[in-house]
Chains A and B, each alone.
Chain A
Amino acid sequence: MTALPTAAHDFAATLAARGVDLSRRTCRTLQVNLTKLCNQACLHCHVDSSPKRTEHLSREGVERCLELLRLNPMLEVLDLTGGAPELHADFRELVRGARALDRTVIVRHNLTVTLDPHPTSGASMEDLPEFFAEQRVQLVSSLPFYEQYFTDKQRGRGVFGKSLESMRRLNALGFGIQGSGLELILVYNPVGAFLPASQEALEADYRAKLRAAHGLEFTQLFTITNMPINRFAEDLRRRGTYESYIQKLVSAFNPVAASNVMCRDLISVDWRGQIYDCDFNQMLELEVEDAGTALTIFDLDLERLRELPIKTEAHCFGCTAGAGSSCGGTTETP
């Protein structure tokens, strides 16, 4: 865990000064960080995931997530992330269980996990696309650019080529193909200390370039701002650009984007089952607390949760800069 930006960047005071309401709305999304294990070790990764990480949600935790979905019909979406969530031993059981409950299941799928053997067991993951199609999950996949240079620079040598191969297999099953009902959403995030370009403009570029150069299709593009925490923050410090990046985020504060941040209708669960307002707070260990006690999925009451404040720190400026940023892309237009 790295230090937060300095106290001079007061997010709560900024919200108050601009009259932005950060109260909770009805919780619609249960986002679960199933494991820190990943087949990649990306430069921007705020989770510090890698093939060497071992933390993962217990079987009891997985069962409790399904129980929460059963007990709380307002939880319309199960959003699975990591690490590479597909590497968790109970991933498929969790997906099947949630789909049997008629919930939308989002898998934050890094594309290459299909082509790499499981980092610990060595098992082939090549049947993942068929499993995704069978369960009709929504795939959200990082592809930092439509060209090799930026993608490999951020995610490792060879990742661009493997990502395209994985997209080919997904397209062949209907993912990303208009009219199929199978969604393949790509995610752009900047390779360095700068803000994303317009989501709409980049989506048009991605669509034109991926189609012309590779014959590939996708449903939609999300742009996400890099959060100045963990591995990305360390990289900024190494380059001496940490302070200027924070200042850029603060200067680009957008009250419209701020009013639609994802923490208002999402909860994030870590590998121990603890509850956070978002995946970033999770990485900074800013737990949701009720009377000083950190909440877990085992004692979660969604009605009570609505009364508990959302925790903010200076990194939250990352979600409110420019057109805004969330796990669902920009927030300026909800």
Chain B
Amino acid sequence: MSYYEPQDLKNFPKVGNFKPDLWEKFMAYYQAATGEEGALSKREKALIALAIAHSKQCPYCIDSYTTTCLEAGASPDQMTEAVHVAAAMDAGITLVHGVQMHNHLEGLGA
């Protein structure tokens, strides 16, 4: 048994057992933002969500949005590119903090 069990995802609504009003507001917002066609298509939204799932390393979201991407008509190439975008962003975000390192180096007169 691991800390994250795939079957635990179906228990997500239990979070709404307390403060259900907040849960319902979250769900309405979540559905509107991710599950409906808008300025972005459902497929584009699913690919963004898949990329974030990897970046944030959420195992539930990775499983869920892999399926969602497929059911939105995405191809494995598109899904893999989305993960590369997340990985490249993560690398860039790490690397750009090198600016802070350099700022501090210069501040130290190094």
Contacts and interface: CB of A to CB of B under 8 A. Distances in A.
Interface string B7-50: 00000000000000000000000000000000001010000000
A147 interface: yes
Interface string A271-292: 0000000000000000000000
Contacts of B5: none
A82 interface: no
A94 interface: no
Interface stretch (B54-62, B72-80, B98-106): B72-80
A192 B43 contact: no
Contacts of A202: 73
B74 to A, nearest CB: 8
Contacts of B76: 149-150
A145 B75 contact: yes
B43 A201 contact: yes
Interface in B53-110: 67, 70-73, 75-77
A197 B75 contact: no
Interface in A135-182: 145, 147, 149-150
Interface in A234-266: none
A205 B76 CA distance: 14
Nearest to A247: B10
Question: Among B41, B43, B71, which residue has the most Cβ atoms of chain A within 10 A?
Answer: B71
Contacts of A196: 71
Interface in A176-201: 190, 192, 194-198, 201
B87 to A, nearest CB: 21
Contact of A194 (B43, B67, B75, B77): B67
A145 B67 CA distance: 16
Interface residues of B, number: 10
Contacts of A194: 67, 70-71
Nearest to A248: B67
A196 B67 CA distance: 10
A125 B100 CA distance: 70
B70 A190 contact: yes
Contacts of A145: 75
Report, as a range, how many residues of chain A touch the other chain.
Answer: 10 to 19
Contacts of B71: 190, 194-197
Contacts of A205: 73
A201 B75 contact: no
Nearest to A188: B73
A202 B67 CA distance: 16
A149 B73 CA distance: 14
A150 B75 CA distance: 8
Contacts of B75: 145, 147, 149-150
Interface string A195-225: 1111001100100000000000000000000
Nearest to A149: B76
Contacts of B73: 197-198, 201-202, 205
A202 B75 CA distance: 11
A150 B69 CA distance: 14
Nearest to B68: A194
Question: Among B41, B67, B77, which residue has the most Cβ atoms of chain A within 10 A?
Answer: B67
16 contacts: A147-B75, A147-B77, A149-B75, A149-B76, A149-B77, A150-B75, A150-B76, A190-B70, A194-B67, A195-B71, A197-B70, A197-B71, A201-B43, A201-B73, A202-B73, A205-B73
Listed from nearest, the 8 A-B pairs whose CB atoms lie closest are: A197-B73, A194-B70, A202-B73, A195-B71, A194-B67, A194-B71, A197-B72, A201-B73
Given A149-B77, A197-B70, 9 more contacts: A145-B75, A149-B75, A149-B76, A150-B75, A194-B70, A198-B73, A201-B43, A202-B73, A205-B73
